[in-house]
Structures are given as structure tokens and as C-alpha cells.
């Protein structure tokens, strides 16, 4: 797997955050987005938004990728997500054989912006690295990404501030 350059990481992060903004602004979706980079680290093969509380962006993308690309090809590919994948999404990424994950914002930051007890997103406290460590193949993980977590949190507040319970 070829390493991500700083510029490739920045470009992928910007594209993913733009996708999250589109999800909210145009499609009235929850602020989650994921995209899949080809092994060249620049070509976007596919992208996905959060479709519902059980059809998360990362899991939908991983399932579609597994249906459309060879396992060896996916092992050289990178999934970029605005947020750290939950346990369900991490498991789907693992089973799809996607070789690298980059997430911009941590699960802990997500829980802070969503608010404890928010029925629309009852965030798990189970880091994706913990899920991947239990597997038999390696998924390289980069995240949270410095400078990007704050941007993702700021963008996501627009949505979650409307769903938070009185605190």
C-alpha cells in the first residue's frame, strides 16, 4: 500500500467534509460522509452519506465497495470518513478488506457534539482500533486528523444543535 502524502490526505479530507456539507444542506441527511480512494490515493471510486440510523455512510460504502471491487484491490484502497466509524461500520470495513481508514473526527468528539442520551445517535464508546485489533488482517488507521476534527465538529453542530436534549 502506498503511503498517503500530506497533500493527498488534505485533498481527501476536504472532499469528505464537502460531501458531509452536501448531505446536510442539499439532502437533509445527518452529518456523516465517507469516500473511497483508489490505490493511487487520488481517484475517488465512490462515496456515501448516512442514509439512516442503521445505514451509516461507512458501512454502506464498504458494502458497495465489496460488491464492486476485488478484495486485493480494496486492500490497497483507503476509506476516508468524517467521523470515526462505530463498531458496526468498523466491522464492515474489516470484512470488505479495505486496507486503510482515515477518520477526521473522533468518536469521543462526536459524543460531545451529539450530546449524551440523544436518541438519534446513541454513540458507542468503542474505538474502531479496538474492533480492528480483534481481527486477523490489519486495517491501517489514521485519525483523528489534526486540524480537521475541529472543522468536522463545527460543521456537525449545525445539525446536532437541533436534536440535543435540554442540558
Report the alpha-carbon distance of residue 74 to residue 135 in Å, rounded.
16
Report the 10 Å Cβ neighbour count for 50. Answer: 24
Predicted confidence (pLDDT) at residue 167 exceeds the cutoff of 60: no
Angle formed at CA 88 by CA 60 and CA 146, multiple of 5 degrees: 85
The residue with greater pLDDT, 166 or 115, is 115
Q: What is the pTM of this model?
A: 0.94
Task: Calculate what percentage of the chain has a pLDDT beyond 90.
Answer: 84
Per-domain boundaries in the chain: 6-160
Positive or negative: CA dihedral 13, 16, 69, 58: positive
pLDDT tens per residue across span 139-155: 999 999 999 999 999 99
CA distance 167 to 164: 8
* Burial of residue 49, with CB atoms counted within 10 A of its CB: 0-12 exposed, 13-18 middle, 19 or more buried: buried
pLDDT of residue 154: 97
pLDDT tens for each residue of 82-113: 999 999 999 999 999 999 999 999 999 999 99
The domain defined by 6-160 folds into Cytidine Deaminase; domain 2 (3.40.140)
Amino acid at each position: 500500500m502506498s503511503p498517503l502524502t500530506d497533500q493527498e490526505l488534505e485533498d481527501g479530507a476536504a472532499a469528505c467534509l464537502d460531501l458531509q456539507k452536501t448531505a446536510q444542506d442539499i439532502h437533509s441527511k445527518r452529518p456523516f460522509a465517507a469516500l473511497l480512494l483508489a490505490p493511487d490515493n487520488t481517484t475517488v471510486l465512490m462515496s456515501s452519506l448516512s442514509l439512516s440510523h442503521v445505514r451509516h455512510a461507512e458501512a454502506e460504502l464498504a458494502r458497495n465497495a465489496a460488491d464492486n471491487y476485488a478484495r486485493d484491490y480494496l486492500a490497497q484502497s483507503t476509506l476516508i470518513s468524517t467521523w470515526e466509524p462505530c463498531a458496526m461500520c468498523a466491522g464492515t470495513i474489516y470484512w470488505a478488506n479495505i486496507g486503510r481508514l482515515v477518520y477526521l473526527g473522533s468518536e469521543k468528539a462526536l459524543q460531545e457534539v451529539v450530546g449524551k442520551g440523544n436518541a438519534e445517535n446513541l454513540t458507542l464508546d468503542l474505538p474502531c482500533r479496538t474492533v480492528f485489533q480483534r481481527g486477523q488482517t490489519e486495517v491501517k488507521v489514521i485519525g483523528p486528523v489534526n486540524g480537521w476534527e475541529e472543522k468536522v465538529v463545527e460543521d456537525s453542530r449545525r445539525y446536532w444543535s437541533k436534536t440535543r436534549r435540554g442540558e
